[in-house]
């Protein structure tokens, strides 16, 4: 995959991070099999597509927390593409070693 294909996918993820994005969905956009797409994406970015999507979602969560720390954690999780509060809390704590509510303090 050419660098332009990687940029296309990165842009797509940043634009649609709140939507459910599967490996197969992303691979279709650059006309590759999911296996080949994942391998090429990781070679080019150093992250798997899933890791990249998670990072983009968590960066958005941090931005939202900093701009409006009083919002509901469930709403924040849903706005960032997580389908459960528990999954969001685990991902946030794993990435930042602190809970989202403690991050706001």
CA distance 51 to 91: 11
Which residues lie below 8 Å from residue 1, measured CB to CB, with a gap of 6+? 30, 32, 37, 40, 41, 44
pLDDT digits (tens, 9 = 90+) for 15-39: 999 999 999 999 999 999 999 999 9
The total number of structural domains in the chain stands at 2
57 and 96 share one domain: yes
62 and 33 share one domain: no
pLDDT digits (tens, 9 = 90+) for 62-88: 999 998 767 899 999 999 999 999 999
Across 54-60, average pLDDT: 98
Please report, rounded to a whole number, the percentage of residues in the chain having pLDDT higher than 90: 84
90 and 66 share one domain: yes
Is the pTM higher than 0.95? The answer reads no
**Is 32:40 a contact under the CB 8 Å cutoff?**
yes
CATH number for the domain spanning 96: value is 1.10.10.60
70 and 95 share one domain: yes
Question: Which domain range does residue 82 map to?
Answer: 53-103
């Amino acid at each position: 995959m050419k660098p332009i294909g990687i940029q296309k996918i990165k842009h797509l993820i940043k634009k649609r991070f709140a939507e459910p994005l599967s490996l197969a969905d992303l691979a279709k956009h650059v006309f590759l099999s999911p296996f080949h797409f994942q391998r090429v994406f990781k070679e080019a970015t150093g992250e798997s597509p899933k890791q990249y999507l998670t990072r983009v979602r968590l960066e958005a969560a941090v931005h939202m927390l900093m701009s409006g720390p009083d919002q509901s954690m469930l709403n924040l999780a849903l706005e960032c593409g997580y389908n459960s509060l528990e999954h969001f809390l685990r991902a946030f704590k794993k990435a930042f070693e602190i809970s989202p509510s403690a991050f706001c303090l």
